[in-house]
Amino acid sequence: MILTRREALVGGVAGATLAASPALGTVPFPSQRPDASARRFTSRAVEREIARVSAKIGDAKLRWMFANCYPNTLDTTVRLRTIDGAPDAFVITGDIPCLWLRDSSAQMTPYLHLAREDAPLRTVFRGLIARQARSILIDPYANAFMEDPSAKTTLSWALTDKTEMKPGVAERKWEIDSLCYPMRLAHGYWQATRDPTPFDARWAAAARLSIATFRAQQRKDGPGPYRFLRVSDRNIETMPLEGLGNPSRSVGLIHCGFRPSDDACLYPFLIPANLFAVTVLRELAVVAQGARGDAALAQEATALADEVARALAEHGRMRLRDGSDVWAYEVDGFGNAIFMDDANVPSLSGLGYLGCVAPNDPLWLRTQAAAWSPANPYFFKGKAGEGIGGPHVGLRQIWPMSLIVRALSSDDPATIRACLKTLRDTDAGTGFMHETFDQDDPAQFTRSWFAWANGLFGELIVRIAHTRPALLEAPL
């Protein structure tokens, strides 16, 4: 039995009996979406996109899963209201009623290409960008936030954390990607709409605070203000050395407390997160200049990106036992490094998807190949399929997210098709993506309501429909 702390909040148990699964031999499958009257938000553009893409999918089950998954964020997680006359969108992760900066950004990304044509959808994006800016200004070291900015955390596992917990903060794990993803969302929205509305003085203040936080965590002048300790029987839930993390030598990289899995880093320089930071800082500069004419903010972002990029070139690589030169997963600046990969993005295998490297970059291709091999201790292969997991749930547990990202990163039709088939066949009949499934038994899974994975799957299908529609035409 697998029980994660997130499922503990809602009483979910992996492998528990779910609602009766649809008969997989019948067509059509019954929709698993909420009734129209119960949906949190409905976008006409998204509904048209579901119909357009579904018409291209020849596999009945895959078509059903796409229609369930793609709108899941809008159907179930968006809480839209008005604050001071402007939209506010609080986007929960799914089975946890809190906003993660990372998850909320990724959850809305699959709809960016539709925002220009749908004014109500633009309102949601404006509201989320505003909510993220307000959250960062509460505490740039926090990864998750409460809907009520004056409320104390209600997350059972965070109630006694030894860190500076402020009102409005749900969890305070310092993760580089928590500040990267709002930059990525802002850039995506600006590129899709050229709408300057969300990029006001508050957004600029949050952007400047994000840059200042990255600089503080370069730790050039001491360890900085962040500490985190948690009483737990899992070492990945707390940070060593009185909450400072393991030692690092200041080399220009950004020190990280936790991975995007919310698991503690072993070595404090998380390389995929630093690579992502370089990419999104350059994107932030584009938004600052284009949407605000803020040359100073653009210059701040670009200068830090250049500095971290130089440090990555010098300290971010390692050699595997077979002599392969690859990106390391984590380093400490003293010359120590580990190679592994975790399914949560930013990951080494996700660098192509994130645009941190060119799709044909030899260094990244070697790194990706190693991540999808026994060189990665969290690469699992069993009767149900193969994929990447991570320490968060444990051994043998494959994250569908890793398969989705592999397909999004690949230009090989056979690889994409294989990923699609595994994703189709490991949903345990629910019609949705999960956090993980057992490598031999997909009926054993964690998180039946995980909106990030659902949206990412929808993003994959939309991408294939646009770039390789022939892959979708026939049943898998």
Backbone dihedral angles phi then psi of residue 293, each to the nearest 5 degrees = 65, 30
Task: Please say if the pLDDT value at position 21 is more than 80.
Answer: no
pLDDT digits (tens, 9 = 90+) for 210-258: 999 999 999 999 999 999 999 999 999 999 999 999 999 999 999 999 9
| pLDDT at residue 14, rounded to an integer | 30
Average model confidence (pLDDT) for the chain? 94
| pLDDT at residue 155, rounded to an integer | 98
Task: Please say if the pLDDT value at position 20 is more than 80.
Answer: no
Strand arrangement, sheet containing 330-331: 269-270, 330-331, 337-338
Task: Please say if the pLDDT value at position 18 is more than 50.
Answer: no
Mean pLDDT of 338-353: 98
Using an 8 Å Cβ cutoff, are 344 and 260 in contact?
yes
Task: Please say if the pLDDT value at position 88 is more than 70.
Answer: yes
Using an 8 Å Cβ cutoff, are 288 and 294 in contact?
yes
The interaxial angle of helices 201-216 and 176-193, nearest 10 deg, is: 140
What letter would DSSP give residue 162? Answer: B
Task: Please say if the pLDDT value at position 16 is more than 70.
Answer: no
Task: Please say if the pLDDT value at position 355 is more than 80.
Answer: yes
| Number of helical (H) and strand (E) elements in the chain, helices listed first | 17, 15
Q: Residue 404's pLDDT band (boundaries 50, 70, 90)? A: very high
Mean pLDDT of 433-452: 98
| pLDDT at residue 452, rounded to an integer | 98
Q: Residue 292's pLDDT band (boundaries 50, 70, 90)? A: very high
Using an 8 Å Cβ cutoff, are 452 and 106 in contact?
yes
Which residues are CB-contacts of 218 (< 8 A; sequence separation ≥ 6)? Answer: 250, 252, 253, 254, 255
How many CB atoms lie under 10 A from the CB of residue 258?
26
Q: How far apart are CA 78 and CA 82, in angstroms?
A: 13
pLDDT digits (tens, 9 = 90+) for 202-213: 999 999 999 999
Looking at 176-328, list the stretches that DSSP marks H as alpha helix, in order from N- to C-terminal side.
Answer: 176-193, 201-216, 240-243, 271-292, 295-315
| pLDDT at residue 12, rounded to an integer | 32
| pLDDT at residue 146, rounded to an integer | 98
| pLDDT at residue 77, rounded to an integer | 98
| pLDDT at residue 3, rounded to an integer | 37
pLDDT digits (tens, 9 = 90+) for 131-171: 999 999 999 999 999 999 999 999 999 999 999 999 999 99
| pLDDT at residue 25, rounded to an integer | 43
Mean pLDDT of 15-31: 49
